Structure 1
Amino acid sequence: MNLSRRRKISSHVETSSMNDIMFFLMLFFLIVSTMVNPNVIKLMLPNARSGKQAMKQPITISVDAAGTYFLDRTPITPTELEPELARRIQGLESPTAVLRVDASLNVQKLVDILEIGNRLKIKMVMATQAQQGK
């Protein structure tokens, strides 16, 4: 008579729920890591009696559809643009100019203004309009 067991006992741990737990932990750490800025150093900053903030006023350079140049709403010729910009940025630490160029103009007028800004070390920002209907 053979009375031995035909079934073997195996020790098996169900790990299917571990996948869900690991997925949620990974999402949590990804979200938290994007919120943390490692370059921030906590400092106690000194107090100041005047709460005045220095506001930078950018210079606005505009070119309309007819090709007329404007420097802060003042009409100016393209040849006068560079000397007038150089005069206005004297004494400014980091001069900034906002470019407003009509969309119907060719790119060369924009490139000419950018070259002037590059020679004078002016930070240039292009003003754009948001697309309608999207």
Structure 2
Amino acid sequence: MELKRRNRVNAEFSMASMTDIIFLLLIFFMITSSAISQSAIDVKLPKADATNPSVQDPSTVTIKEDGKYFVNDKEIPKEQLENQLVNALKGEANPSFTIRADGNSKHKDVVFVMGIAETHHFNLAIATTQEDN
């Protein structure tokens, strides 16, 4: 009596899992390569265009290199800066002010003032100087 074997070795190989792995690796390398290239870019900030008319905001916040704050050329402690700005811009239809920060002032000082503008929905401009070509 001859018995037939029912278990045969299947020579097929499923590529479905392999394509999933390759797809995930592709996504990983695309994300990491873009993150690396962003950190290596030399950023040049835009310069002011002298042909555009400028509008002088009624209020300015000046930040000196040593971290001192001035509102309309009057020195204000950091703790009182928010109250002073809110009082200065109270009643304006479109409240706005300009930040004049020293080139060597700390970034966190500028971000602090920008946070005040964001909290109270004030419009904000950052003063620059035009470089000679």
SS in 1 for 2:108: helix
Residue 87 of structure 2 corresponds to which residue in structure 1? 87
Give the Cα separation in 2 of the matches to 1:87 and 1:56: 19
Residue 114 of structure 1 corresponds to which residue in structure 2? 114
The Cα of 1:76 is off from its aligned counterpart by: 0.3
The Cα of 1:107 is off from its aligned counterpart by: 1.1
State the TM-score, normalizing by the size of structure 1. Answer: 0.55
Cα pair 1:98 1:125 within 8 Å, conserved: yes
Residue 78 of structure 2 corresponds to which residue in structure 1? 78
Structure number with bigger Rg: 1
Runs of 4+ in 1 over 2 A off after TM superposition: 55-58
SS in 2 for 1:98: strand
The Cα of 1:114 is off from its aligned counterpart by: 0.3
Using CA pairs under 8 Å that are at least 6 residues apart, name the structure with larger relative contact order, 1 or 2.
2
The Cα of 1:59 is off from its aligned counterpart by: 0.7
Letter in 2 for 1:73: D
Letter in 2 for 1:126: I
Asked if 1:102 is matched to 2:76, the reply is no
Percent sequence identity is: 22
Q: Deviations over 1:94-132 (max 9, x none)?
A: 011011000011211111100001111110000001123
State the TM-score, normalizing by the size of structure 2. Answer: 0.55
Alignment of 1:1-134 (within 5 A): 57-132=57-132, 134=133
SS in 2 for 1:113: helix
Letter in 2 for 1:77: P
Structure 2 alignment gaps of length 5 or more: 1-54
Give the Cα separation in 1 of the matches to 2:126 and 2:56: 17
Cα pair 2:57 2:98 within 8 Å, conserved: no
Letter in 2 for 1:109: D
C-alpha RMSD of matched pairs (Å): 1.7
Q: Deviations over 1:22-80 (max 9, x none)?
A: xxxxxxxxxxxxxxxxxxxxxxxxxxxxxxxxx98521000112221000010001110
Give the Cα separation in 2 of the matches to 1:98 and 1:111: 13
Cα pair 1:62 1:100 within 8 Å, conserved: yes
Number of aligned pairs? Answer: 79
Give the Cα separation in 1 of the matches to 2:130 and 2:56: 24
